Amino acid sequence: MTTTPWWRGAVVYQVYPRSMMDANNDGIGDILGIISKLDYIASLGVDAIWVSPFFKSPMKDFGYDISDYRDIDPIFGTLADFDELIAKAHARGIKIIIDQVLSHTSDQHAWFMESRESRDNAKADWYVWADPQPDGTPPNNWLAIFGGSAWEWEPRRCQYYLHNFLKTQPDLNYHCPQVQQQILSEVEFWLKRGVDGLRLDAIIFCFHDQLLRNNPAKPEEERRGRGFREDNPYAFQRHVYDCDRPENLQFLEALRKLMDRYPGTVTLGEIASEDSLKTMAEYTAGTSRLHMAYSFELLVDQLSGTYIRETIETLEKNLSEGWPCWSIGNHDVVRVMSRWGGINPSPQLAKTLNAMLMSLRGSICSYQGEELGLVEADIQQHELQDPYGITFWPRFKGRDGCRTPMPWTHQENHAGFSHAKTWLPIPSAHKECAVSLQENDSGSILNAYRKFMHWRKQQPCLRFGDIEFVAAADEYVVFIRSFGSEKLLCAFNFSASAQVISLDANYRLEKTEGHGCDSVSTEGKVLSVSAYSTVIARVL
Ligand code: BGC
């Protein structure tokens, strides 16, 4: 076991720094705020934290638009604060994963400011520039995820530049060797500072097709599934030329060589391609690319046991040495309690969801607030911050509803997050879920999370074992994790009524969450799991 890298089977807690804790009372969270909550984070029993971007940025996409890779934005603090965060996290046995946004910069980055000036300056090729078509329109049909054409006109050069997200997020040109070298050196700046890993934002977007071929249309019958919204024409194309290009793999290999010079560090790629499960396997194959990757495949709108089983089975079939990482919520999607639980979800659902996530094979990303069972916050139009939501309102409200500040104390103003008006409102339903209330309730979602996590740590089956699904109804997820001769049956009931499964082995009850199971015996071969409950049983 000693040779197993720390990140295999680890639980990574995602911190959205604007909303963790505000130490300087400007209404926005910061690094000193995160430091003040390290004991809380440690009490959850997680292995690492992934901190969303805190680098210098005009914040047009809340930090995913970086204007200086080597500095901290004053909103969040200083480099000295960050060094303190690493030291204090490490002192508590918590690893630090930072978010690296390598495919694009802010338009305020010095590289872009220089590049946009002329066609022959030293950084002229650092971004993706292209001439207009003879009729003056953009070079091709590529679209930006956040709306409209992916091309923006720059009068200084009389050319268009490419941006896959906002027009203030110009895309770096990885076909230019100096860009790759420079980016690796920006990454190394943080490796030298002692970070334990990188979450690689939008990593499939590094390269584009140099011939700038048009993306083909996606036939209407295929425009469905994850992320499809009829209000966003981005979903009307097959994204074969603007992302996930074959050259990406060579860059990942160069990045891995750098990581290997800093033993114990890890890469976690964010994948959202035409076939994310295939891309996850491809990007993590062998030992010379990414260590692990996660996709949006479990960030879907509907809870379906069949879908979860099929998704995981498909990835497992594709993966060779690659290691999966799963999440059911993050800062880009509606909170899982609302997505999968609808209006007024049962608090018990949160416990079952967290237990299921922690029991999957792979590493796990758990988004801040999931340990409290937070639901999506309802944000009014005048309160919107996310440019994605501002563009697509009212059909799509953007990502603010999952990014609101953490509710720490029930009675305090601003739920103890800040003394000032917070950058996004804290809903009253969140105050009812405050940490201060849940701490003192032995049956709370928070305490169930902690108990499960601490138990999980002792279970090699859950951290490292294989996974095999057992056929079950759609409201049910059942699988067996096995490690050596040990086998654990994990059953999760997401419905409001008890479910019964038949097994072909005897079992002994190991752990239950919620109302647990109605009938268990060491001789038993029939298991009945109560509404919204988790049952873990040792297969004898
Ligand atoms: C991040 C988003 C961000 C986008 C552009 C992503 O996938 O998770 O929050 O807006 O990349 O950087």
Identify the band that residue 200 occupies on the pLDDT scale cut at 50, 70 and 90: very high
159 token code pair: 């050319």
Identify the band that residue 227 occupies on the pLDDT scale cut at 50, 70 and 90: low
What ranges do the domains of the chain cover? Answer: 297-314+334-374+464-540
CA distance 512 to 434: 24
152, 154, 171, 201: the catalytic one is: 201
Q: Give pLDDT tens digits for 105-129.
A: 999 999 999 999 999 999 999 999 9
Confidence (pLDDT) at 515: 62
Q: What is the mean pLDDT of residues 442-456?
A: 97
Q: Does pLDDT of 1 surpass 70?
A: no
> Cα separations (Å) of 509 from 29, 245, 491, 522, 540?
43, 49, 11, 8, 10
Confidence (pLDDT) at 509: 84
CA distance 287 to 253: 9
Q: What is the mean pLDDT of residues 445-453?
A: 97
Q: What is the mean pLDDT of residues 212-237?
A: 88
Confidence (pLDDT) at 528: 81
- Could you confirm whether 439 is annotated as catalytic? no
Nearest to 49 by CA among 187, 245, 197, 148: 197
Q: What is the mean pLDDT of residues 394-401?
A: 96
What is the CA(338)–ligand 1 centre distance, in A? 21
Say if ligand 1 is within 6 A of residue 202 CB.
yes
Using CA atoms in the order 144, 105, 15, 90, what is the torsion angle rounded to 10 degrees? 150
Confidence (pLDDT) at 353: 97
Residue type at 62?
F
Identify the band that residue 500 occupies on the pLDDT scale cut at 50, 70 and 90: confident
State if pTM tops 0.85.
Answer: yes
Nearest to 176 by CA among 111, 107, 267, 259: 111
On average, the pLDDT of the chain sits at: 95
Q: Does pLDDT of 460 surpass 50?
A: yes
99, 107, 270, 386: the catalytic one is: 270
Q: Give pLDDT tens digits for 238-279.
A: 999 999 999 999 999 999 999 999 999 999 999 999 999 999
Which CATH number does the domain 297-314+334-374+464-540 belong to among 2.40.30.10, 2.60.40.1180, 2.60.40.790, 1.20.1440.130? 2.60.40.1180
Nearest atom of ligand 1 to the alpha carbon of 146: 10
Say if ligand 1 is within 6 A of residue 7 CB.
no
- Could you confirm whether 201 is annotated as catalytic? yes
253: which residues sit within 8 A by CB, 6+ positions away?
288, 289
Confidence (pLDDT) at 521: 45
How far is C-alpha 404 from the chain's CA centre? 16
DSSP string, 290-354: -SEEEESTT--SS--HHHHHHHHHHHHHH-SS-EEEE-S--TTS--HHHHHH-SS--HHHHHHHH
Q: Does pLDDT of 517 surpass 70?
A: no
Say if ligand 1 is within 6 A of residue 270 CB.
yes
Q: Give pLDDT tens digits for 45-61.
A: 999 999 999 999 999 99
Nearest atom of ligand 1 to the alpha carbon of 165: 5
Confidence (pLDDT) at 202: 97
Residue of 14, 57, 61 with the most ligand 1 atoms within 8 Å of its CB, for mutation: 61
What is the CA(502)–ligand 1 centre distance, in A? 43
Identify the band that residue 530 occupies on the pLDDT scale cut at 50, 70 and 90: confident
Q: Does pLDDT of 42 surpass 50?
A: yes
Q: What is the mean pLDDT of residues 329-337?
A: 98
Say if ligand 1 is within 6 A of residue 99 CB.
no
373-388 b/e (C-beta count within 10 Å ≥ 16 → b)? bbbbbebeeeebbbbb
Say if ligand 1 is within 6 A of residue 332 CB.
yes
Q: What is the mean pLDDT of residues 429-451?
A: 97
522 versus 150: which is more confidently predicted? Answer: 150
325 token code pair: 């990482």
Say if ligand 1 is within 6 A of residue 65 CB.
no
